[in-house]
Amino acid sequence: MDLIIGSGVTGISYANFTSNDFLIIEKEKEVGGYCRTIKRNGFVWDYSGHFFHFQNPEIEKYVCKNIDPSLLLKVEKHTQIYYKGKYVDFPFQKNIHQLDKEELVDCLYDLFTSYNGEVSSFMEMVYANYGKSIAEKFLIPYNEKLYACNLDSLDMNAMGRFFPKANKEDIILNFKSHDNSSYNSHFTYPKTGAIEYVNSLLQNIDMTKVYVEEELISIDPEKKIATTNRRKIHYDRLISTIPLPILLTKCGINYPENVFSCNKVLVFNLGFDSKGNDRQNSWIYVPEKDYIFYRFGYYDNIMGSDRMSLYVEIGFPENSELNKEGLYLERILHDLKKMGVVTTQELLDYEAVLMKPAYAHISKSSIETVERVKKELCKKDIYTIGRYGGWTYCSIEDNILEAKHLVHCLQ
């Protein structure tokens, strides 16, 4: 029997693909992980903006097969950066021609005089590839707000294919022939929220094998016994999607101190009584430290609804103490009004969600440790997958494919 820890998309996907008997245990009251949805007062909010950027048509077809096609929106992404009171198209490095002339000249000069030697950290990579001006105007301040850490501590490939790359030729050519395409230029989204993906996958499995409010307490890897707050479970294989450091602790496996770190993200979903002025953007990046959030997005523009509905994201260091919820809400509303996003609209409802972990800090030492402990765990028939199980940066589709691949490897 395969014991699956965690009922997010990764864990449910594994259950979808395996032919083995299985159990899924989930410590929360509901399944879905971070893909849960809140529906209230006519607003539809996810725990944060979860928009599936399908690259694999077969996976998209499989995930969506139990969703009413009339609910599925095919959205062309439109994103911008709020910079010095103006909007610049994303990605910043390909749209520096939209800056004032003096800043454009600075960016071009630094771009063509940037260092081209060996680099090892994310910070060094940004300076080397894009020069001082592009780095310090957007790439560094934005990612410092997002990751809430020193970017020198991150591996140069910490974001993998998700980092919007562009060489000098791309940047110059984009001055006239605008091409802001990226891996996620289009996305699919259900009108009733990301939980529909989870519900669709759940319809393919036996729900009597899914147990909520059952938390993993400890694992005996030698005896293959998992102890929960309810019982002891004997398993043949254990498939974990919970954060890797937590899994190692549950197994009694030591790992180097400080090798695993992350940020946490406080998400505010806001519902207003009427539309705002922005009718096209999917989300906005905000690099300047004068504003508390690093990004916010428009559910109403994505869904075509008639009242402004936003998600707003604030990054914090992993162990920082948070203030009272109301203080953050007050500051968010102040900053949105300062930007002109909120003008005469009245806030009708809101929901705050804390995501911890949110983004893993991927460093050279974490990559090496993940590789080593995964091999150790495999020898004990324990497999750790997903964004947090693999302590990596990936898409939801990547998680589904990883689950499918693991099933194939274990057959």
The encoded tokens of residue 146 equal: 């997002």
Total residues found in the chain within this entry: 411
Q: Are residues 346 and 199 in the same domain?
A: no
Domain for residue 86, yes or no? no
Q: Are residues 56 and 6 in the same domain?
A: yes
Angle at 265 between CA 261 and CA 271, to 5 degrees: 170
Q: Are residues 252 and 335 in the same domain?
A: no
Q: Are residues 379 and 248 in the same domain?
A: yes
Angle at 352 between CA 351 and CA 355, to 5 degrees: 135
Q: Are residues 8 and 142 in the same domain?
A: no
Instruction: Provide the CATH number for the domain around residue 275.
Output: 3.90.660.20
Domain for residue 83, yes or no? no
User: For 105-154, what is each residue's pLDDT tens digit?
Assistant: 999 999 998 777 789 999 999 999 999 999 999 999 999 999 999 999 99
Domain for residue 84, yes or no? no
Q: Are residues 351 and 367 in the same domain?
A: no
Q: What CA–CA distance (Å, rounded) separates 320 from 323?
A: 10
How many other CB atoms are found less than 10 A from the CB of residue 362?
24
Q: Are strands 347-355 and 261-272 parallel, antiparallel or unpaired?
A: antiparallel
Domain for residue 178, yes or no? no
Instruction: Provide the CATH number for the domain around residue 151.
Output: 1.10.3110
- Find out whether 273 and 345 touch, Cβ atoms under 8 Å: yes
Q: Are residues 201 and 118 in the same domain?
A: no
Confidence at residue 183, expressed as pLDDT on a 0 to 100 scale: 47
Identify the domain boundary among 355, 376, 402: 355
Instruction: Provide the CATH number for the domain around residue 253.
Output: 3.40.50.720
Confidence at residue 253, expressed as pLDDT on a 0 to 100 scale: 95
Domain for residue 405, yes or no? yes
Q: What CA–CA distance (Å, rounded) separates 212 from 25?
A: 6
Q: Are residues 233 and 250 in the same domain?
A: yes
pTM for the structure as a whole = 0.94
Q: Are residues 212 and 349 in the same domain?
A: no
Q: Mark out the alpha helices in 274-320 (DSSP H runs).
A: 299-303
* Low-confidence residues in the chain, pLDDT < 70: 50, 178-184
Q: State the residue range of the domain holding 241.
A: 2-73+190-260+363-410
Q: Are residues 345 and 270 in the same domain?
A: yes
Identify the domain boundary among 329, 355, 381: 355
Q: Are residues 370 and 381 in the same domain?
A: yes
Domain for residue 301, yes or no? yes
Q: Which residue type does 246 have?
A: I
Domain for residue 38, yes or no? yes
Please report how many Cα atoms fall inside a 13 Å half-sphere around the Cα of residue 257, on the Cβ side. 0
Q: Are residues 248 and 378 in the same domain?
A: yes
- Find out whether 263 and 148 touch, Cβ atoms under 8 Å: yes
Domain for residue 183, yes or no? no
**Total domain count, the chain:** 3
